[in-house]
């Protein structure tokens, strides 16, 4: 049990760090501005972002495994990273998360701090939308870490 708890803690830390880097440093400006757009271009930008983000998480987990000699089940890794990637894509299409926020009574918070239309600013940064987006992602990192630790 202690080793499972330690594995969970180490994996969650690696996923969280990789998420911060992948979601903010690795993501391109084009992806950040376009991933919520309707149609094929928006979906392609979001898929591109999720691919680079998942790759960043894979690198972090590989580094964790290399340095600590931690062994993780490849099936659990695959399932966890797939669950995380799908949840990330879902939220980053934006309209989905906005609808969920409205449905649970958080719509006003979601729109808090949104810039005026036509300014060219990204309304999801430093706003209620950004806070809800990031908390959604961290919750799924927790789930992914549980899946990986359970399979280790």
Instruction: Indicate the pTM of the whole model.
Output: 0.89
Domain count, the chain: 1
At a CB cut-off of 8 Å and minimum separation 6, what does 138 contact? Answer: 16, 19
pLDDT of residue 79: 98
Rounded to an integer, the average pLDDT of 123-147 is 89
**32 — pLDDT class (breaks 50, 70, 90):** very high
**14 — pLDDT class (breaks 50, 70, 90):** very high
What string of DSSP letters covers 51-82?
A: HHHHHHHHHHHHHHHHHH-----HHHHHHHHH
Domain that holds residue 66: 2-151
**113 — pLDDT class (breaks 50, 70, 90):** confident
Percent pLDDT > 90 in the chain is: 84
Rounded to an integer, the average pLDDT of 7-14 is 98
**127 — pLDDT class (breaks 50, 70, 90):** confident
Among 78, 60, 79, 58, residue whose Cα is nearest residue 68 = 60
**114 — pLDDT class (breaks 50, 70, 90):** confident
Does position 42 have pLDDT exceeding 70, yes or no?
A: yes
């Amino acid at each position: 049990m202690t080793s499972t708890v330690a594995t969970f803690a180490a994996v969650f830390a690696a996923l969280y760090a990789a998420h911060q880097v992948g979601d903010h440093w690795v993501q391109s400006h084009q992806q950040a501005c376009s991933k919520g757009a309707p149609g094929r271009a928006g979906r392609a930008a979001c898929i591109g972002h999720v691919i680079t983000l998942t790759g960043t998480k894979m690198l972090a987990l590989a580094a964790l495994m290399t340095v600590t000699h931690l062994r993780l089940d490849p099936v659990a890794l695959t399932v966890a990273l797939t669950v995380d990637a799908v949840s990330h894509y879902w939220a980053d299409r934006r309209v989905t998360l906005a609808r969920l926020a409205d449905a649970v009574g958080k719509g006003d918070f979601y729109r808090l701090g949104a810039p005026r239309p036509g300014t060219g600013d990204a309304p999801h940064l430093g706003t209620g939308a950004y806070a809800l987006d990031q908390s959604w992602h961290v919750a799924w990192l927790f789930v992914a870490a549980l899946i990986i630790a359970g399979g280790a």
